[in-house]
Amino acid sequence: MTAKQSDGPTPPTPSPPDRSAAPPGPAIRLITVSAAYGAGGTVVAPALAGRLGLPFLQRVTTSEGHVAEPGPCDEQLSAEEVKATPVHRLLAHFTQAMPAGPTQSPPSTHHQDEHLRGHGEAGIHRLLADGGGVILGRAAAVVLGKDRGFHVRLDGPAERRLVQGAAIEGISEARARERLRAADKARTAYVRRLYRCDPADASLYHLMIDSTAMPLDTVIELIVTAARAHEAPVPGRSETH
């Protein structure tokens, strides 16, 4: 499901939605949000958590092991995400391989990948054990599969995403363009390297939205409505999700 693009970018409205406005329906237990830079994932995901009264788990961060309170996070790459990208790890691998005393073999690439996967997935599994929540990034749709949770992808044309990213972060469009290139490249590399798939692959998600084509408040409403419909019992459909 892809929303039709409008004529111009709509500035995001990151003020927390009123939870009392949530329509009645089946309880939503688990939503994952994958978002390209400037698609508004850092506004939409925490707002969903606040709206639904669920814990919020951010992208891979230095506060691993702690579920974040609903609130603002960054569209740009976090320091921990930079550390998790293949380019950074390759440089670190060569640095470790340079002799600086007794000869010692650096960790294998396979070992490093296993460590990074475990690091990113630990928070997901803890959230599941506590009953669910809203997860931003972490290749959560890949980790969980289509039968667990409701998976959303936010994207849009690059030029419109950089405009929206600049508005969200309060930076120039020139700076946003740099961040867009870095974030898109690193986050795609993270998923491809660790899980051998493309984070933009539509088959991973229940809902895909061009979130540059409408206000982010509307994006939130669409996700809540679709997630409730997904949770509603349908005759003949398996209830394993």
Q: Which residues contact 7 (CB under 8 A, 6 or more apart)?
A: none
Q: Which residues contact 119 (CB under 8 A, 6 or more apart)?
A: 60, 64, 84
Task: Say what the pTM is.
Answer: 0.72
pLDDT for the residue 189 = 87
Rounded CA gap, 155 and 161, in Å?
A: 8
- Please report which confidence band the pLDDT of residue 116 belongs to, taking 50, 70 and 90 as the band edges: confident
Contact 47, 17 (CB under 8 A): yes
- Please report which confidence band the pLDDT of residue 92 belongs to, taking 50, 70 and 90 as the band edges: very low
- Please report which confidence band the pLDDT of residue 215 belongs to, taking 50, 70 and 90 as the band edges: very high
User: Was domain 25-94+108-228 assigned CATH 3.40.50.300?
Assistant: yes
- Residues 168-191 have pLDDT tens digits of 999 999 999 999 999 898 889 888
Domain boundaries, the chain: 25-94+108-228
- Please report which confidence band the pLDDT of residue 135 belongs to, taking 50, 70 and 90 as the band edges: very high
